[in-house]
Amino acid sequence: MPDMSIKRGVQRPYVRSDLLAVHSLNEFVLAVPDLEEARRFYTLFGLDVREDGAGLSLYTFGNPHRWGRIVEGPRKRSHHLSFGCFEEDLPRFRGRLEANGVALIDAPAGFESNGLWFRDFEGSLVEIVIAPKSMPDEKTRVEELAVAPGYQGAAFRRTAPRIYPSRLSHLLMFTSSVPQAIEFYERHLGLKLSDHSGDEIAFLHGVHGSDHHLLAFGGSTFRGLHHLSWDVPAIDEVGIGAAYMAANGYAAGWGFGRHVLGSNYFHYVRDPWGSYSEYSCGIDFVPPGFEWMSSNNDSEDSLYLFGPTVPSDFVTNYEAQDPGPRDNEG
Ligand SMILES: [Fe+2]
């Protein structure tokens, strides 16, 4: 097969202290109306779902990092995003946020921490906290498909393995303004634009070594979660994971396909609240110090290289249908 790869930038010297930027999406917190339904969905999806006080914590098997928490609320809603920084950078972030006029606020009840808390341009709650770098330092290797001559490469359906994602890769959030989201998260958190499609969608990476995107934004009229993306190390795991979810009542979604921006193979499984969890494999990687030349692309050309027709409501923000009061929700 011809080589499809495209060189996207240049390597520059990397001096960590020259940069002030979060290194990872440390954790997401999501409120949902039914914790039991959440436990069932994420357990079937292959996550290590643990009791955590009044809510649930989401881990991946074999990894000590807590990727997310699920709390109970009247409706599905993104509660806050927490970004991880290096220890020496926290006071620098405090200085930058204060200099930029971003008001620091108290941690919401139940989430007390040593981190810096503030609201972004549309009122969504954000934390920057000292945390281990959970975003990988190098490109995640995709396992080889080839098998030796004389061997059957595929398992029977009855012996297909359960799929357990290895880590969180990224989140895609709906926003009322993709350009403002890019501006805010670049200026205050130090994320960098990887690629975008006009004002429809934008992908942001970390500069300390990051997947092509650790956070993405899609245009809507209101903030909401579109999807969580979970990395699996083999292309087959994307399909086998999705087939298992379909057999257990979660057949809706989109996939199997391959994105262009990010290059990852995907299958999105629709969750009980109209958002998605994505099995993702082979996402592009931006090494530390690499200057990824961002590009603006027609979405027709760049959403996916191949895959089924996009479901008509794939980019519907179901969180926006019942926005409810955002004040005093912590
Ligand atoms: Fe994704």
Residue for token pair 């958002």: 275
d(CA 255, CA 279): 9
Q: Tens digit of pLDDT for each residue in 280-311?
A: 999 999 999 999 999 999 999 999 999 999 99
CATH classification code of 21-135+164-321: 3.10.180.10
Q: How far is the CA of 72 from the centre of ligand 1 (A)?
A: 25
Q: Provide the sign of the torsion angle of the four alpha carbons 285, 288, 293, 299, taken in this order.
A: positive
**DSSP secondary structure string, 262-317?**
S--EEEEEE-TTS-EEEEEE---EE-TTEEE--EE--HHHHS-SB-SPPPTTTT--
For the chain, the distance separating the N- and C-terminal CA atoms, rounded to the nearest angstrom, is 52
**Cβ distance 230 to 244 under 8 Å?**
no
Tens digit of pLDDT at every position of the chain (330 positions) = 899 999 999 999 999 999 999 999 999 999 999 999 999 999 999 999 999 988 999 999 999 999 999 999 999 999 999 999 999 999 999 999 999 999 999 999 999 999 999 999 999 999 999 999 999 999 999 998 889 999 999 999 999 999 999 999 999 999 999 999 999 999 999 999 999 999 999 999 999 999 999 999 999 999 999 999 999 999 999 999 999 999 999 999 999 999 999 999 999 999 999 999 999 999 999 999 999 999 999 999 999 999 999 999 999 999 855 444 444 344
314-325: per-residue pLDDT in tens?
999 998 554 444
User: What are φ and ψ of residue 96, in 5° steps?
Assistant: -65, -45
Ligand 1 centroid to Cα of residue 62, in Å, is 22
CA–CA separation, 315 and 307 (whole Å): 16
Q: How far is the CA of 171 from the centre of ligand 1 (A)?
A: 7
Could you state, in order of their start, the residue ranges of all structural domains in the chain? 21-135+164-321
Query: Which residues does 111 contact at the CB level (< 8 Å), separation at least 6?
Result: 29, 80, 127, 330
For residue 195, what are its two tokens? 């690629």
**CA–CA separation, 217 and 77 (whole Å):** 16
CA 290 to ligand 1 center in whole angstroms: 22
Task: Locate 259 and state its tokens.
Answer: 């994105």
- Cα of 305 vs centre of ligand 1, distance in Å, is 14
pTM of the model: 0.95
Using the mean position of ligand 1's atoms as its centre, give its distance from the Cα of residue 122 in Å: 22
The DSSP line for 230-241 is: EE-SSHHHHHHH
Ligand 1 geometric centre to CA of 128 (Å)? 22
- Ligand 1 center to 303 CA (angstroms): 11
Tens digits of residue pLDDT in 18-63:
999 999 999 999 999 999 999 999 999 999 999 998 899 999 999 9
Across 117-133, b (16+ Cβ under 10 Å) vs e yields: bbebeeebbbbbbbbeb
Surrounding residues of ion ligand 1, Cβ less than 5 A: 229, 278
For residue 98, give the nearest of 66, 128, 58 by alpha carbon.
128
| Best CA proximity match to 77, nearest among 127, 31, 29, 28 | 31
Q: Measured in angstroms, how far is the CA atom of residue 278 from the centroid of ligand 1?
A: 6
The Cβ of residue 219 has, within 10 Å, a number of other Cβ atoms equal to 19
Average pLDDT of the chain to the nearest whole number: 95
